[in-house]
A and B are shown apart, each in its own frame.
Chain A
Amino acid sequence: MHRALPVLAVLAVLTAVWYLGAWRMNTPWALAQAERAGQELSAGELFTATMNQDRPRLPAPHQVATELWKTTGDMALRGKALSKRSLIYHGAITLGSTLTGFALGVALGILGAVAITYSRVAEMSLMPWAIVSQTIPIVALAPMIVVLSNAVGIEGRGVPKAIISAYLCYFPVMVGMVKGLNSPSHQQLDLLKTYNASGAESFFKLRLPASMPYFFTSMKVAIAAALVGTIIGELPTGAISGLGARILIGDQFGTPLAIWAALFAAAILAGVLVTVIGGVQAVVLKRMGMAR
């Protein structure tokens, strides 16, 4: 409670600011409607009129919450959780690509880290390019990757989205793992040498376990990056399923409520994913005796 209080207070202030913004931004439209109908609005009436518009410039928080409930929980209760209009369906599509890309990116990152730890040539030639690769705005490549994978005969968008996610999330894993694999001290490495441990043994019994705290920390960064990558992959024209596509379609059909609901669904998904990894981290590190 001690730590939740400030967070809740700040959240309350943000919500208040949001309501204020919704009131200010939706006022012109409400006034125009009233003028067309030939009626005068009192201040109170004006306020309620700005809170319940169908296509507001800025929807009020409760509108977004209602829309979010209507497209998730309500549909699930009516047994249509996997209908194409439900955000659960679109969230699942996004989640699938995110996890595929994440797995690919983590595997690449670990392989790269092992190569860099054990081979000086790899370190000298790969590391600078890995850094450069992160300064390139990947979205510039997103439409390109979609076209490319279409051209080589890959149907659908799952693969290109996963590639973009993997591109975004391999780097934090690689950097974290390089640090982690090099974290054992000279003394520890020397000790293994006096035990006559082989390279593989010292990798699996010392370097890999020692890198776990670093690994989980970078996994949390990577899963968030993978989700961003998937959503960016869904944004360029043509996508029809996934949370990013919901944002795109909401934009094309002029339904701001759908955009906001999809945005919040993405935020919730990100929160859940990071929390799950945090939970796994806590359990694994505790069992390995490394809990802090």
Chain B
Amino acid sequence: MMAVGAALAFWLATWALNVALARSRWRKARAVRIAVPVIFGLAVLVLWQGLVRGLEVSPVILPAPSDIAVTFANSTETLWEDFVQTVLKGALSGYLIGCGVAFVTAILIDRSAFLTAGLLPIGNFVAALPIVGIAPILVSWFGFDWHSKAAVVVAMVFFPVLVNVVQGLKETEAMQRDLMRTYAASYWQTMLKLRLPAAMPFVFNGLKIATTLALIGAIVAEYFGSPVKGMGFRISTGVGRLAIDLVWAEIAVAALVGTAFYGIVAMIEKFVTFWHPSQRVG
């Protein structure tokens, strides 16, 4: 019970600290804006640790964060192998192919108003469908190795990216396009200098959605057959043989990779669309 009490006391103390920080006159400062959520996250971890230890929860149900950290440190080799198999080979290659194909398709479709009118509603509909369901079909077509995982990822990211790029290419106003015409700009000049830059906020919106979808696709596809490595494989077998701490370590890797992947795309977005109102600071 001591541990539970201490954890609760820590929680209250950090919450009070956060309240004080949020009311202080430094609340607009960058350091405080980062510190507050970090402190909150830390408090959640401490509360978790205290509850698991204090209430003596079985490690088969919920291991304490410290146990997960130890497992994580002890099995870095396995985790790295799974990371390479699932993220680098499966998710990343599928992401690049899927987004690339969607981008090119969008630019081709955009030349025909008829195709755009036909594909946009369909694309919007398909983007909302549970496409992960085709994972078993693609695994049986492309085999157990990472190729089938990449194929699932391609299928999952294609429509969200396509819809966003097509939408983005419509962003320019008639005035702006007319201006380009008075400059005697060719189709590709207008495309490269006006329409693609204007489309970038939408493109990155699609690319950011696709990062999470890519990881989900690569992991789910491994539930349907995989060589004896990969994050999805490790999670589904780990649950089976009650190696729950290893499963949590994989989940931690998945969370870190997901956040980093999203963060990298968001950083590139910041660099490319620095002119957009949503990027203004303050």
Contact = CB atoms under 8 A, between A and B. Distances in A.
Interface of A: 3, 6-11, 14, 57, 120-121, 124-129, 132, 134-141, 143-144, 146-148, 151-152, 221, 224, 227-228, 231-232, 235-237, 243-244, 247-248, 250-251, 256, 259-260, 262-263, 266-267, 270-271, 274
Interface stretch (B68-76, B166-174, B216-224): B216-224
B121 interface: yes
A132 B259 CA distance: 6
A124 B155 CA distance: 36
Given A8-B118, A139-B216, 4 more contacts: A3-B117, A121-B18, A143-B235, A259-B136
B212 A134 contact: yes
Interface string B210-251: 011001100110011000000110011001100010011011
A140 B130 contact: no
Nearest to B238: A143
Given A10-B115, A251-B224, A135 B261 contact: yes
Contact of B254 (A132, A140, A267): A140
A166 B18 CA distance: 28
Interface of B: 15, 18-19, 21-23, 27, 33, 36-37, 39-41, 58, 60-62, 114-119, 121-122, 125, 128-130, 132-137, 139-141, 211-212, 215-216, 219-220, 223-224, 231-232, 235-236, 239-240, 244, 247-248, 250-251, 254-255, 258-259, 261-262
Q: Closest 6 CB pairs between A and B?
A: A6-B118, A10-B118, A251-B136, A125-B40, A224-B128, A6-B117
Contacts of A260: 137
Contact of B223 (A127, A151, A236, A267): A236
Nearest to B39: A125
A57 B239 contact: no
A54 to B, nearest CB: 15
Nearest to B37: A128
Contacts of B18: 121, 124-125
A244 B40 CA distance: 36
A87 to B, nearest CB: 13
Contact of B231 (A57, A138, A140): A140
Contacts of A221: 128
A269 B228 CA distance: 35
10 contacts: A10-B115, A121-B18, A135-B255, A143-B239, A144-B235, A146-B239, A152-B61, A231-B130, A248-B136, A270-B128
Given A136-B258, A137-B219, A263-B133, A144 B39 contact: no
A228 B211 CA distance: 16
